[in-house]
């Protein structure tokens, strides 16, 4: 049995090898024929490969931990386009090669929504990469042209690229050029981007000073895009106020 397991592993049948004792007992007790046995093996291996593929995509996406949309209070924002965001969660925009742009002040749920959409895309079999704008710019700011080209290519390949926190930090006058080298090929290939920003597009010049390509960059992002504004008080401030109120009630008891 040990030799059989090694042979199965050697040809990549890991699921069958891992449960070989139970598998043999099952097919023997059920008196399955050769075709049925092969069908069982194919089903087990397909499921195992799908599981490993999902794990790899999740690891590469760098999504990290996040709250599910089930925890999101749609009644909390003063302004939010729920139908548009629910369509985005169904990944309709990915099939159309459109971008999704989430605008609004800090703490209104842009990152949470973006992560949930990205997670749905991973679950659906898409390659996804989630990074902040500063992480991307730092990553592609290489002295070597060849290294820079390779890092830029890393961000042009995934089906979905999520660029979070555009506008939270200021950059030098070359940062917008580096972003453009990522966004333009994605635009040409019809690969979707999710952008979250606390700034209106007209204010992007404050974080990308002296960038000659900023108008073209924004044009590429918005040409085929759904743009939505979220207006609400910061959920972190809201949570702190709710916790303080709860502590006050507890002390009164």
- Alpha carbon distance 253, 250 (integer Å): 5
Maximum average pLDDT range among 50-54, 122-126, 214-218: 122-126
- Position 25 scores a pLDDT of 92
**Chain CA centroid to CA 240, Å:** 28
Q: What is the pLDDT of residues 20-29, one digit of tens each?
A: 999 999 999 9
Q: Percentage of the chain with pLDDT > 70?
A: 92
* CB contact at 8 A, 88 and 81: no
Arithmetic mean of pLDDT, 158-167: 94
Arithmetic mean of pLDDT, 142-164: 93
Arithmetic mean of pLDDT, 34-53: 92
Cα angle 241, 244, 246 (rounded to 5 degrees) comes to: 110
* CB contact at 8 A, 186 and 154: no
- Position 251 scores a pLDDT of 64
Strands 160-166 and 225-229: unpaired
- Alpha carbon distance 131, 88 (integer Å): 19
- Position 249 scores a pLDDT of 65
When computed from its CA atoms, the radius of gyration of the chain, rounded to whole angstroms, is 24
Arithmetic mean of pLDDT, 75-84: 94
Query: 69-237 maps to which CATH number?
Result: 3.40.50.300
For residue 4, give Cα distances in angstroms to 26, 102, 128, 228.
17, 54, 38, 58
Other C-beta atoms within 10 Å of 165: how many?
19
Arithmetic mean of pLDDT, 75-97: 95
DSSP designation for 79: B
Is the pLDDT score of 193 beyond 80?
Answer: yes
Residue extents of the structural domains in the chain: 2-61, 69-237
Strands 192-197 and 160-166: parallel
Average pLDDT across the chain, whole number: 90
Q: What is the pLDDT of residues 202-224, one digit of tens each?
A: 998 888 887 788 889 999 999 99
- Alpha carbon distance 195, 162 (integer Å): 6
> Residue 192's pLDDT band (boundaries 50, 70, 90)?
very high
């Amino acid at each position: 049995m040990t030799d059989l397991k090694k042979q199965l592993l050697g040809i990549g049948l890991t699921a069958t090898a891992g449960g070989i004792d139970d598998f043999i007992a099952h097919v023997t007790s059920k008196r399955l024929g050769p075709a049925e046995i092969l069908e069982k093996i194919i089903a087990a291996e397909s499921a195992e490969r799908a599981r490993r593929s999902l794990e790899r995509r999740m690891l590469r996406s760098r999504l990290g931990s996040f709250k599910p949309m089930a925890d999101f209070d749609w009644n909390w924002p003063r302004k939010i386009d729920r139908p548009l965001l629910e369509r985005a969660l169904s990944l309709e925009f990915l099939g159309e090669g459109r971008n999704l742009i989430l605008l609004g002040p800090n703490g209104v749920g842009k990152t949470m929504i973006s992560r949930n959409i990205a997670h749905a895309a991973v679950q659906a079999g898409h390659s996804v990469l989630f990074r902040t704008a500063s992480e991307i710019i730092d990553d592609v700011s290489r002295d070597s042209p060849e290294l820079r080209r390779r890092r830029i290519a890393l961000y042009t390949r995934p089906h979905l690229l999520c660029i979070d926190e555009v506008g939270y930090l200021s950059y030098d006058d070359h940062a917008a050029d580096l972003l453009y080298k990522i966004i333009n090929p994605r635009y040409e290939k019809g690969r979707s981007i999710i952008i979250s920003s606390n700034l209106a597009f007209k204010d992007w010049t404050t974080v990308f000073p002296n960038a000659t390509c900023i108008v073209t960059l924004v044009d590429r992002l918005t040409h085929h895009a759904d743009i939505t504004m979220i207006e609400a008080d910061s959920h972190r401030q809201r949570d702190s106020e709710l916790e303080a109120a709860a502590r006050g009630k507890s002390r009164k008891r």
